[in-house]
Structure 1
Amino acid sequence: MSPSSFYKYCPVYQDQSFDKEYSVINLLADQVTFSTRNNFNDLFDSKVNLIKPTRKDLKEISSKLKTSKRSEFKKVFWGDDWKSKVQLFENEVIKLFDNYLYYCVTDKNDNNLMWSHYANSHKGFCIEWDSTKILAEQVKYQSNIPSFNLIDLIETHVGLGDNTKVGNDIWQALRTKLNEWEYESEYRFQMSNAMEQLIVKKEPNFAIVKYQPEWIRSIIWGCRTTEKTKKYIKENLHFDVKFKQATEGLSSIIITE
């Protein structure tokens, strides 16, 4: 079951010139940043071990194809240079994976490490999202990066594989992280083609995307968020929202309204 709310920790680095604080700029402009995997801070996040097919694997696929499709298949994957052809296909798959855009959230609003790592040591704020508007799916944590057989993708490319299963396997692989990140309790929202119209700025490794302000349930101030930061956001926010406060308990973070 999906949690009722998702949370996004946002840093504020100084309170002298808010026009340079990207988290504040985004909040006041009803926009968020979606990132590609190459923009993540973890080198192994969404990294997938792509297993190349053998010549025998390709031969088996070729034998299943009708004559008309077999000739086309051989042009793309067969011949003395079959290894280089497979490498070209792998390069295209990597390029595709590198272009996917994600918005990462969590189901925890009182995580001390998250406040420390992602909200500039509690000086930033945390956005509480209505989870029915943020279609994020849970990240899987494991000891090794996931593997994916390219032969499964090649089969779908020539009309033999199960597109739905392969798509689900790829999406699962791309929302897998190593166990050391499990404290984040992350969920991941992948941008769909239908959302292209919401993009206001796109760069190689990220995109700025518009959202509806009513999707935000509250803004939670960090334990060290300055009064100047709070005042600036409250005065410039163009919609009504509930404000909450994170405070330092004896050994944990406490969220109060």
Structure 2
Amino acid sequence: MNIEDFKKIHPWPEQCGIHSLYRFMPVNSENTEFLEHLFIKKKLYHSLPADFNDPFEGKPHFVIGKSGNRAKMIRDHLKKVARKNGMRRKDADILISNSMKDPNFIKNSIANATKKTFGELRICCFTTDNVNLLFWSHYANSHKGICIEFDATIMPIAFAYKVEYSNEYPHATYPVPSDERAFKPALVKAKAWEYENEFRIMFVPNVMTLPHDGESLLLSDSTITNVYMGSEISYQDKEVLLNIIAESDFAPNIWQAALSPKSFELEFTQLN
């Protein structure tokens, strides 16, 4: 896949006419670490694929071509990596040539490289919908949590890629592309998840240029625009949440959700 096709399949929010993205989270007045991390420290935590509820995350397949050109390309790449790590050209040529006599060498090399790449990848997920009842149930502790609206026109939220939903299992290419295409396997999910209409921000700590602390990207004061509290949020959780927001540098609009008396929908009332 060339870079142009990648960008068509995985556009940024503004390219889709989207100006806001949403993220759901639970609230626990007895453990405010995550709330303070976001609102007080202004850090957007990115999880490892192993922490996701989908066990397929971060486990792409890889395909090894049988052509001589493919094998030569991999061999040349491995030699280049060896030289980059300080090995002399002659020694690298001998090492890789001897290693490739093992029929499993290429397969194991690619598997190890893929595991390393996706083991270090950090991901934060968003959706385009703040009223979806399944989101409120699954990700906001059965409507007891919150939904946070982020401005998708400014960094780092503007850097989110649209997820593709497919029946075809994602595969990794080797050598790994040096541009956004390296993220491709982490941007393909099963059709069963299509209702989530997901966007993702991803980074690898040692190659990311945006400000980060290794686990989280840093946010500006204008990033969070609205906070929606679930219809079942407790009084105690609500008070703790509002106090933390008041202490922060963010100034979002605060909304309270309520169950509609006429339909399976939510109604929101602004509190400030």
Into which bin does the TM-score normalised by the smaller protein fall? 0.7 to 0.9
- Residue 227 (str. 1) matches residue 235 (str. 2): yes
| Alignment correspondent of 2:167 | 143
Is 1:125 paired with 2:146?
yes
In structure 2, the partner of 1:9 is 24
| Runs of at least 4 residues off by over 4 Å | 57-60, 62-65, 68-74
Moved more, 127-136 or 53-62: 53-62
Letter of the 1:211 counterpart: L
Residue in structure 1 matched with residue 134 of structure 2 by the alignment: 113
Partner of 1:160: none
Distance 2:224 2:75 in 1: 54
Say whether residues 1:213 and 2:212 are aligned partners. Answer: no
Q: Does 1:33 align with 2:36?
A: no
User: In structure 1, what residue type is equivalent to 2:34?
Assistant: S
1:76 correspondence with 2:96? yes
Q: How many residues align?
A: 232
Change over 3 Å in CA distance of 1:79–1:233 after alignment to 2? closer
> What residue identity is the alignment partner of 2:55?
L
Alignment partners' CA distance in 2, 1:218 and 1:224 = 18
* Counterpart residue type for residue 49 of structure 2: R
- Structure 1: runs of 5 or more not aligned: 157-162
Q: Is the 8 A contact 1:105 1:186 kept in 2?
A: yes
From 43, 46, 49, the equivalent of 2:61 is 49
- Residue by residue, what CA displacement relative to the aligned partner does 1:105-146 show, whole Å, maximum 9, x if unpaired? 111100100110000000001110000120211111112321
Bigger share in strand? 1
Tell me the alpha carbon deviations over residues 178-215 of structure 1, each in whole angstroms, 9 at most, x when there is no partner: 111111111001126123x531xx5xxxx244322321
| 1:96 alignment counterpart | 117
Q: 1:198 aligns with which of 194, 212, 215?
A: 212
One-letter amino acid of the counterpart of residue 31, structure 1: K
Secondary structure of residue in 2 paired with 1:194 = coil
Q: Does the 8 Å CA contact 1:5/1:130 hold for their aligned counterparts? A: yes
Amino acid at match of 1:39: D
Asked if 1 retains the 8 angstrom alpha-carbon contact of 2:38 and 2:45, the reply is no
For residues 74 and 190 of structure 2, the distance between their equivalents in structure 1, rounded to whole angstroms, comes to 37
TM-score (norm 2): 0.74
Distance 2:218 2:143 in 1: 26
CA distance in 1: counterparts of 2:74 and 2:216, whole angstroms: 44
Show the counterpart of 1:159. Answer: none
> SS in structure 1 opposite 2:240?
helix
Q: Which residue of 1 aligns with 2:13?
A: none
The alignment partner of 1:218 has SS state of strand
Q: What is the CA distance between 1:230 and its match in structure 2?
A: 1.9
2:35 maps to what in 1? 24
Q: Secondary structure at the match of 1:180?
A: helix
Q: Residues 131-176 of structure 1, C-alpha deviation per residue, up to 9 Å, x if partnerless?
A: 01202111111123212343xx2xx7xxxxxx56xx4443222111
Which residue in the other structure is 2:268 paired with? 255
* RMSD of aligned residue pairs (Cα, Å): 3.0
3-state SS of 1:81 partner? coil
After superposition, the Cα gap between the structure-2 partners of 1:233 and 1:88, relative to the gap in structure 1 and judged at 3 Å, is: same
Relative to 1, partners in 2 of residues 1:89 and 1:179: Cα closer, same or farther, differing over 3 Å? closer
User: TM-score, normalized by length of structure 1?
Assistant: 0.78
How far apart are the structure 2 equivalents of 1:198 and 1:63?
35
Whether 2:206 is the aligned partner of 1:185: answer no
Between the aligned partners of 2:71 and 2:223, the Cα distance in structure 1 is 52
* Structure 1 CA distance for aligned equivalents of residues 148 and 138 of structure 2: 15
Cα pair 1:46 1:175 within 8 Å, conserved? no
Q: Structure 2 unaligned runs (5+)?
A: 1-15, 84-88
